[in-house]
Amino acid sequence: MHLEVVTPEEMGRVDRAAIAPGPHAGYGLMRNAGAAVAGEILARYAEAEGFFVLCGPGNNGGDGYVVARLLAERGLEVRVFADAGPATGSDAALALGDCPVKPEPLSAFQPRRAWLVVDALFGAGLKRPVEGGEAAIIAEVSNSGLAVVAIDLPTGLCGLTGKPLGSAFSADLTVTFFRKKRGHLLVPGRQICGDLVVADIGIADSALHAVGCKVWENQPPLWRPIWPKITAGTHKYSRGHVAVVSGGAITTGAARLSALAAARAGAGAVTVLSPANALSINAMHLTSIMLRKADTVSELQAFLVDRKPSGALLGPGAGTGGRTRSFARALLDQATEASGLVFDADAITAFRDRADVFFGMIRASAGKVVLTPHEGEFARLFPELQDGTGVSKVQRAQEAAERSGATLVLKGFDTIVAAPDGRAAINVNATPHLATAGSGDVLSGIIASLMAQGMPAFEAACAGVWVHAESGRTFGYGLVAEDLPDLLPEVLQRLFYKKVTPSAQARS
Ligand SMILES: NC(=O)C1=CN([C@@H]2O[C@H](COP(=O)(O)OP(=O)(O)OC[C@H]3O[C@@H](n4cnc5c(N)ncnc54)[C@H](OP(=O)(O)O)[C@@H]3O)[C@@H](O)[C@H]2O)[C@@H](O)CC1
Ligand SMILES: [K+]
């Protein structure tokens, strides 16, 4: 499984590198692309009574002419619709020349029951909102309820941002080539692609080297090899010690959720640092997790000197005032290169009017720092990068990471993890069940735990986001945040201990 996710522009460079060897290489790739799409159609829609192939003026349309030819050569009923023809001498013009079905104007299109629509209007070359005749046919197809197979991208979907540009098809299946594009994974693009198939069209993997892609789909191969190992010689403090700062008497639950998640994710010791007025309520609800009083910065500093935790989490239920800001400074000041620090929730909001001061503190710190905002918290620290600016979520997270010096976890159905050096991962295993109070507190506890056990910030954040989402999927309906830490063991068993033992094989 290839995890690189490219932009349409990067894909264009890959295509050009693959085409460079000879004058017919471009048409060769197009024939391979069309053959891959036709193969998927025949495998999945054998019962279709006919095929409408809608072709645009570029190479996406060229792929469509190849598909139309291949289906027609099998004796299937095919009608092709196109308004503008391909440029003379282009690969698409060669494909049109070889296609036995002559195009009709888009205005002649009328849906027919049990026919399949092949969308080859626009793909990676979409440059402006889809309007006019193309928008009209998209509306007609949507109203008809006919199944749609999109070539490369559903027409209207921006391959960079994952957002529609004007009208867009909602496809049942999208067949893309070589690697996924960002628009396939970002929402709402992911939903309007339907099933996604990545076809090999003969482009060598090495073509990607020159592009220097730094964005991946967040899957275990990215971080499983460096998940903290435990051995017979491991003792509780060598497994990492995480400090979680609690809020006052009526806001303690969030920190306890984080603390339990940190322990379940493998930290050998977890300490909740509690204000005096919340000590007894915390004590009543904690068993294996330790508790220590920390009202003031000097009490926090004394704990850091005394116990040297390898990870700390500040934010869940912590309050947005001066105590949280001064605790953040103390944690950042005293961090060593081995310390993993997560600032979540209130710790982000506490710096809403002092973002540059916060970023200066993060840059000056020796620690590994992760920020875990949802879109609302993100907008408080990075108002110029908030959603709705037309810039993709990946790029917004990358710019925020570069600006702050921290690894950014920009949460949502398509959570982005971005490192200050430009690396980014798009998470795809979330479930809507995770949208529940306290879910984020669990996530920040897992990430703090993994850093405290020695994982670098980017990989810890990617791993944390994935296992958190996988826990949510494992539970499904009725999920509340309290369930998530207890689901981690099952998820981790599946992730790491899949081997079937000889005795189990013998029994089966
Ligand atoms: N290169 C290769 O080797 C391979 C490429 N492959 C395939 O090529 C596809 C990319 O091809 P592409 O670059 O030609 O872009 P494509 O999506 O066809 O659109 C460009 C045309 O659309 C037009 N146009 C754009 N937006 C519009 C709008 N809103 N409304 C109206 N018009 C609009 C634009 O017009 P212009 O802006 O130039 O005036 C231009 O004419 C890729 O997705 C994959 O399917 C595969 O065969 C594998 C090998
Ligand atoms: K398309």
pLDDT in tens, 290-309: 999 999 999 999 999 999 99
Nearest ligand 1 atom to alpha carbon 62: 47
Q: Which ligand 1 atom is at minimum distance from the Cα of 18?
A: 3
Confirm whether 270 is domain-assigned.
yes
Instruction: Identify whether residues 225 and 208 lie together within a single domain.
Output: no
Domain assignment present for 367: yes
How many angstroms does the Cα of residue 54 sit away from the middle of ligand 2? 9
Evaluate if pTM is beyond 0.90.
Answer: yes
| pLDDT above 60 for 319 | yes
- Shared domain for 239 and 192, answered yes or no, is no
- The values of phi and psi at residue 151, to 5°, are -95, 120
CATH code of 32's domain: 3.40.50.10260
Count of structural domains within the chain: 2
Domain annotation covers residue 460: yes
| 191 and 257 in a common domain | no
Distance CA 449, CA 333 (A): 20
- Give me the pLDDT at residue 379, please: 98
The answer to whether residue 502 is domain-embedded is no
Residue 501 resides in a domain: no
pLDDT for position 502? 60
- Whether the Cβ atoms of residue 432 and residue 419 lie closer than 8 Å to each other: no
| CB-defined site of ligand 1, < 6 Å | 15, 19, 26, 29-30, 33, 56-63, 122-130, 151-152, 177, 201
Per-residue model confidence (pLDDT) at position 238: 85
Q: Are residues 407 and 434 in the same domain?
A: yes
Domain around 9: 5-213
Closest atom, ligand 1, to C-alpha of 201: 48
| pLDDT tens-digit series, residues 151-187 | 999 999 999 999 999 999 999 999 999 999 999 999 9
- Provide CB contacts within 8 A for 228, sequence distance 6+: 239, 240, 266, 450, 453, 454, 455
Q: Is the ipTM of this complex over 0.95?
A: yes
Query: Residue 473 domain-assigned?
Result: yes
CA proximity to 365, closest of 306, 450, 323, 304: 304
Question: Is residue 410 within 8 Å of 397, Cβ to Cβ?
Answer: yes
- Kindly report, residue by residue over 354-374, the tens digit of the pLDDT: 999 999 999 999 999 999 999
- In ligand 1, which atom is closest to the CA atom of 128? 29
Residue 503 lies in a domain: no
- Pocket perturbation via mutation, ligand 1, pick of 98, 127, 155 by most ligand atoms within 8 A of CB: 127
Confidence of residue 508 (pLDDT cuts 50, 70, 90): very low
- Long-range contact list for 202-207, CB < 8 A, 24+ apart? 202/18, 202/28, 202/29, 202/32, 203/14, 203/15, 203/18, 203/29, 203/177, 203/178, 204/18, 205/2, 207/14, 207/17, 207/18, 207/178
Nearest in space to 459 (alpha carbons), one of 214, 185, 224: 224
pLDDT at 499: 58
179 marked among binding-site residues: no
User: Which of 213, 241, 271 corresponds to the end of one domain?
Assistant: 213
Based on the fold, state whether residues 208 and 351 are members of the same structural domain.
no
Q: Say yes or no: 150 and 242 in one domain.
A: no
Both 243 and 121 in one domain: the answer is no
Nearest ligand, CA 125 = 1
**Residue 501 confidence (pLDDT):** 58
Q: Say yes or no: 358 and 441 in one domain.
A: yes
Residues 301 and 444 in one domain: yes
| Alpha-carbon dihedral sign for residues 131, 137, 140, 144 | negative
Confidence of residue 230 (pLDDT cuts 50, 70, 90): confident
> In the prediction, which pLDDT does 490 show?
95
Calculate how far, in angstroms, residue 218's C-alpha sits from the geometric centre of ligand 1: 28
369-418 per-position pLDDT tens digit: 999 999 999 999 999 999 998 899 999 999 999 999 999 999 999 999 99
> What's the pLDDT at 279?
98
Position 24 confidence tier, pLDDT thresholds 50, 70, 90? low
- pLDDT tens-digit series, residues 54-111: 999 999 999 999 999 999 999 999 999 999 999 999 999 999 999 999 999 999 999 9
Same domain (yes/no): 492, 372: yes
Nearest protein Cα to ligand 1, atom 37: 127
> In this structure, what CATH number is given to the domain that contains residue 327?
3.40.1190.20
Report the separation in Å between the CA atom of 428 and the middle of ligand 1, taken as the mean of its atom positions: 27
The pLDDT confidence band at residue 503, using thresholds 50, 70 and 90, is low
* Among candidate residues 186, 213, 240, the one where a domain is terminated: 213
60 carries a ligand binding annotation: yes
Residue 33 lies in a domain: yes
Among 213, 233, 251, identify where a domain stops. Answer: 213
Q: Lowest mean pLDDT of 20-34, 219-233, 445-459, name the range.
A: 20-34
Classify 266 in phi/psi space as left (phi over 0), alpha (psi -120 to 50) or beta: left
Q: How far apart are CA 281 and CA 289, in angstroms?
A: 14
